[in-house]
């Protein structure tokens, strides 16, 4: 399983496209493991580049 860090928008789009193709992967298979790793990388990249600005709670 060769997976590289997501560094650019292009890498991000590629990872999303690959995730789309793996959505039916069964858990505990090489495809399922690849899906898990790619989702984790995409989530980390999106958190860094598209942070959610949540409203401050009134308190």
Mean pLDDT of 15-19: 97
Q: Where are the domains of the chain?
A: 1-42
Mean pLDDT, residues 7-17: 97
**Amino acid 36: pLDDT:** 97
In the predicted structure, residue 1 carries a pLDDT above the cut 80: no
Q: What are 20-55's pLDDT values in tens digits?
A: 999 999 999 999 999 999 999 999 999 999 988 777
Report how far apart, in Å, the C-alpha atoms of 18 and of each of 10, 37, 55, 56, 57 are: 12, 11, 33, 36, 37
């Amino acid at each position: 399983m060769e997976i590289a860090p997501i560094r650019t928008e292009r890498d991000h789009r590629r990872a999303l496209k690959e995730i789309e193709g793996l959505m039916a992967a069964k858990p505990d298979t090489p495809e399922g493991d690849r899906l898990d790793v790619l989702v984790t990388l995409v989530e980390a990249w999106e958190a860094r580049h598209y942070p959610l600005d949540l409203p401050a709670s009134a308190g």
